Amino acid sequence: MATSKPNSKTNSKASRKSTKSTSAKAKTTKSKTSSKKALEASSELERVRAEAHQLESLLEEEILRDAVMTARVALEQLKADTHGPPFERRRGIRLRDKALKVERAFNRLRALRRGELLPERHPED
């Protein structure tokens, strides 16, 4: 019986060592997996941020194009109405309305250039 006790102690020590090494391997595997997931998440986040920045730029470009087009159309209409007989009363009223329309279009364009009418950018920009 005396010989069985040392064997049981040896067996229990060996099992503890194997358990420790298995848990250490599991910890390193978990840390590798979690670091891979964190790296994938950060790369996904960067990709989404880049896409959001690109979409913001496209939106800003479309808003500016629309404002420029509106201002050009208003100017063309004003120029078209200035040609003709100068004595017509209705023509003067139309010209005043057209001038106000041009002014509003250019006010919008000026505000866009100052960045007042654009959507807010992300704080990191």
Residue-averaged pLDDT of the chain: 73
Query: For residue 88, what are the contacts with CB-CB under 8 A and spacing of at least 6?
Result: none
Q: What is the pLDDT of residue 5?
A: 53
99 belongs to a structural domain: yes
Which pLDDT score, from 0 to 100, does residue 29 have? 62
**Looking at the 3D structure of the chain, how many domains does it have?**
1
Confidence of residue 88 (pLDDT cuts 50, 70, 90): low
Q: Give residue 100's pLDDT.
A: 84
- The angle, 0 to 180 degrees and rounded to 10, between the axes of the packed helices 89-114 and 4-82 is 160
Please report whether residue 20 resides in a domain: no
Sign of CA dihedral 58, 60, 64, 67: positive
Q: How confident is the model at residue 72 (pLDDT cuts 50, 70, 90)?
A: confident
13 domain residue, yes or no: no
In a domain, 42, yes or no: yes
Is there a domain that residue 1 lies in? Answer: no
Whether residue 112 lies inside any domain: the answer is yes
Residue 125 lies in a domain: no
Range of the domain at 98: 37-116
pLDDT score for 1: 47
Check whether 48 has a pLDDT greater than 60.
yes
* Residue 118 confidence (pLDDT): 65
pTM: 0.48
In a domain, 52, yes or no: yes
For 19, counting Cβ atoms within 10 Å of its Cβ (0-12 exposed, 13-18 middle, 19+ buried), the class is exposed
Of residues 5 and 55, which shows the higher confidence score? Answer: 55
| Of 33 and 53, more confident | 53
Which of 3-12, 15-24, 79-88 is predicted with the least confidence, judged by mean pLDDT?
3-12
